Amino acid sequence: MSEIRFPLPDVGEGLTEAEIVQWRVAPGDRIVLDQVFVEIETAKSLVELPSAFEGVVSELLVDEGKTVDVGTPILVIQTDVPAAADSSAPTAPVSEGGLDTPASPPTRPTGGADEGGAVLVGHGASGPVSTRRRRHPSPAGAHTTLAAPPAPGPAAPAPTTVSSASVVPAAPAGATPAATSAPRTEATAEPHVPVIAKPPIRKLAKDLGVDLSRVTATGPIGDITRDDVIREASQASVFRNIQTPEAPADRETRIPVKGVRKAIARAMVQSAFQAPHVSVFVDVDATRTMEYLKRLKASPDYAGIKISPLLIMAKAMIWAVRRNPTVNAQWTDDEIIVKHYVNLGIAAATPRGLIVPNVKNAQDMSMVELAAALEQLTLTAREGKTQPAEMQGGTITITNIGVFGMDTGTPILNPGEVGIVALGTIKQKPWVVDGEVRPRYVTTIGGSFDHRVVDGDVVSRFVADVASIIEEPALLLE
């Protein structure tokens, strides 16, 4: 056997340090190829690291909550490979950019650490593929335990009295007959009501922490719809929010400035003091947008996809960028770089702080594709699984402050971008239509722009174009 000291890698974003958030293994655990063994937090995101080796964990070198530099050994593994076969230095293979990561953004894991869905693939083609088949080893004695018959006794039910419909797993040795028969009694006392929900709806419920058995189904066949899940999640959120917590016993709480919060502070200061901001606002009648969203929700093409005003706002931004390309640009000291593609950033509030992932090449997406991309982006951000590559290369950003009940605001530019547009809450207000005051769905669209790149006329035309789509989505058919 040989000893491997696994160093903290540069996860491909040029960072110099990371915090150990959570160990997924302990000393003495056997670790397999591609198994996620630790969760780290960089200045941009939460990252799961997969193992490039198989063996037994002998030591964890860094405590949870501690920040260490890239290249610092964090784990010791006793591998199954003889020491003589390892002619290289006894460390995990690290390339110039860190671990060998795939060129395209990695897929997000959908299950546990042993499912092979690690965020990073740290070993490339190292090791024979056949080693993957040794996952999920059965614990010692597991077969004996499962096969153990019920404890003998005069009170044990005769085999002939147990129907195939009421068979339960055999009890472990030492279990009493009463304990063995109890599940059968409970199963017949109350009929099971099945939950009818499509796989995407079940995933959404899991992501939002919603118990489907508590959701009132409104679907045509008694199935649970997306709106049912979102309504249940919203109600739960409201009930949580109305509970006022007790005041802390301590007079002060000190929060270390590190990770995402440190990166946010640095970026906001840089943006606020380097780019001269100019902001504009306009009120918009969004009634037709709300009616359009209802039609989209009823369309089979959008089944299982979340539809919200953000989708129309995103399409409006892409359309307005095509008409006013200089808002989709970047300032350097020597030149202005106008981007002819739209990597649309969505400012997302997460438990770890504000992040701005972006939808790559949004200008090439259909409405359905964009809706699915926005939903995936939101769910990934909420789970804290947004990866660094997903937050790089943005060209213009939307901040949806309407979800917090805000009418408008003056957002700060995402560093490196020229424009950011805020979508306020959409609610019914009195509005003059054809000389008459009527209740209409009204919102406020505001935006901040880098005045070094765009002047007031361009800013005004761009925001007016966005507003025109929110007022009349049919313009997108042009």
Least confident of 35-44, 60-69, 129-138, 324-333: 129-138
468 and 344 inside one domain: yes
Q: Give yes or no for residue 258 having a pLDDT over 50.
A: yes
Least confident of 8-17, 131-140, 385-394: 131-140
pLDDT band at 336 (very low <50, low <70, confident <90, very high): very high
How many other β-carbons are positioned within 10 Å of the β-carbon of residue 247?
A: 7
Highest mean pLDDT among 209-213, 383-387, 433-437: 433-437
CA distance 447 to 459: 8
339 and 451 inside one domain: yes
**What CATH number corresponds to the domain at position 221?**
4.10.320.10
Residue 174 within any structural domain of the chain: no
Could you tell me which residue, 132 or 471, shows the higher pLDDT? Answer: 471
Q: Which two tokens stand for residue 159?
A: 């085999």
pLDDT band at 13 (very low <50, low <70, confident <90, very high): low
Q: What is the pLDDT of residue 243?
A: 58
CB contact at 8 A, 424 and 408: yes
317 and 414 inside one domain: yes
294 and 360 inside one domain: yes
Q: What is the pLDDT of residue 43?
A: 67
Task: Give the pTM.
Answer: 0.55
Highest mean pLDDT among 72-76, 137-141, 367-371, 402-406: 367-371
Question: Per the structure, how many domains does the chain have?
Answer: 3
Q: What is the pLDDT of residue 371?
A: 94
pLDDT band at 441 (very low <50, low <70, confident <90, very high): very high
Could you tell me which residue, 462 or 238, shows the higher pLDDT? Answer: 462
pLDDT band at 80 (very low <50, low <70, confident <90, very high): low
CA distance 356 to 377: 10
Question: Final residue of a domain: which of 110, 134, 158?
Answer: 134
If you average pLDDT over residues 227-237, what whole number do you get?
73
Q: Which residue is listed with tokens 């919203």?
A: 234
270 and 233 inside one domain: no
**What CATH number corresponds to the domain at position 55?**
2.40.50.100
Measured CA distances, 8 to 12, 47, 245 (Å): 12, 12, 39
Q: Residues for the chain: how many in total?
A: 478
217 and 300 inside one domain: no
If you average pLDDT over residues 409-413, what whole number do you get?
92
CA distance 226 to 238: 18
56 phi and psi, to 5 degrees? Answer: -120, 130
Highest mean pLDDT among 201-210, 248-257, 350-359, 398-407: 398-407
Q: Which two tokens stand for residue 229?
A: 């899940």
If you average pLDDT over residues 99-120, what whole number do you get?
40
Q: Give yes or no for residue 141 having a pLDDT over 80.
A: no
pLDDT tens, residue by residue, 291-323: 999 999 889 999 888 889 999 999 999 999 999
Q: What is the pLDDT of residue 118?
A: 36
Task: Output Rg (C-alpha) for the chain, integer angstroms.
Answer: 28
If you average pLDDT over residues 67-82, what whole number do you get?
83
Question: Final residue of a domain: which of 101, 134, 167?
Answer: 134
CA distance 205 to 213: 11
305 and 223 inside one domain: no
Q: Which two tokens stand for residue 325?
A: 């390309």
Residue 178 within any structural domain of the chain: no
CA distance 87 to 220: 65
Residue 170 within any structural domain of the chain: no
Q: Give yes or no for residue 169 having a pLDDT over 60.
A: no
Helix (DSSP H) and strand (DSSP E) numbers for the chain: 9, 18
124 and 266 inside one domain: no
CA distance 355 to 285: 30
Quote the distance between the C-alpha of residue 210 and its chain's center: 16
pLDDT band at 237 (very low <50, low <70, confident <90, very high): low
Question: Final residue of a domain: which of 116, 134, 152?
Answer: 134
Residue 169 within any structural domain of the chain: no
CA distance 375 to 305: 7
Could you tell me which residue, 150 or 76, shows the higher pLDDT? Answer: 76
Q: Which two tokens stand for residue 441?
A: 């769905």
Burial degree of 98 (CB within 10 A; 0-12, 13-18, 19+): buried
Q: What is the pLDDT of residue 446?
A: 94
Strands (E) in 157-275, as ranges, are none
Residue 46 within any structural domain of the chain: yes
Q: What percent of the chain has pLDDT over 70?
A: 72
If you average pLDDT over residues 31-46, what whole number do you get?
81
Q: Checking DSSP bridges between strand 36-41 and strand 17-23, what pairing results, if any?
A: antiparallel
CA distance 151 to 172: 8
108 and 26 inside one domain: yes
pLDDT band at 191 (very low <50, low <70, confident <90, very high): low
Least confident of 191-195, 280-284, 318-322: 191-195
Q: What is the pLDDT of residue 328?
A: 96
Q: What is the pLDDT of residue 265?
A: 84
Q: Give yes or no for residue 143 having a pLDDT over 60.
A: no
**What CATH number corresponds to the domain at position 406?**
3.30.559.10
Residue 470 within any structural domain of the chain: yes
Residue 191 within any structural domain of the chain: no
Q: Give yes or no for residue 91 having a pLDDT over 70.
A: no
Q: Checking DSSP bridges between strand 277-285 and strand 436-450, what pairing results, if any?
A: antiparallel
Quote the distance between the C-alpha of residue 167 and its chain's center: 41
CB contact at 8 A, 81 and 2: yes
360 and 227 inside one domain: no
pLDDT band at 193 (very low <50, low <70, confident <90, very high): low
Mean confidence (pLDDT) of the chain: 77
Q: What is the pLDDT of residue 132?
A: 37
221 and 266 inside one domain: no
Active site residues per annotation: 451
Question: Domain range holding 25?
Answer: 2-134
Q: Which residue is listed with tokens 């957002």?
A: 411
Q: Please, which contacts does 429-434 make with residues 24 or more away whose CB atoms are closer than 8 Å? A: 431/285, 433/285
Residue 165 within any structural domain of the chain: no
Q: Give yes or no for residue 181 having a pLDDT over 90.
A: no
CA distance 362 to 404: 25
DSSP label at 181?
H
334 and 398 inside one domain: yes
Q: Please, which contacts does 200-207 make with residues 24 or more away whose CB atoms are closer than 8 Å? A: 200/226, 200/304, 200/305, 201/225, 201/226, 201/229, 201/304, 204/229, 204/230, 204/306, 204/379, 205/229, 207/379, 207/382, 207/383
